[in-house]
Amino acid sequence: MPAFALRIACRKLEYRNRLKFYRRAMPYTVSPNGNHRSRRYRVNRRSCGMKLLRVWVPDPSAPRFREEARRKANILRGCPEQEEALDFIEENF
CA 27 → CA 16, 30, 53, distances in Å? 18, 9, 33
For 4-54, how does the pLDDT look when each residue is reduced to its tens digit (9 = 90+)?
666 677 676 676 666 565 555 555 555 556 677 888 888 898 898 999 888
Using the predicted structure, report yes or no on whether residue 75 has a pLDDT greater than 80.
Answer: yes
Q: Domains of the chain: which residue ranges?
A: 3-47, 55-93
Which segment of 31-40, 64-73, 78-87 scores lowest on mean pLDDT?
31-40
Between 63 and 15, the more confident residue is: 63
SS3 of 33, please? coil
pTM of the model: 0.37
Give the pLDDT mean for 61-65.
Answer: 90
Q: What is the pLDDT of residue 39?
A: 85
In terms of Cα–Cα distance, which of 57, 51, 44, 35 is closest to 13?
A: 44
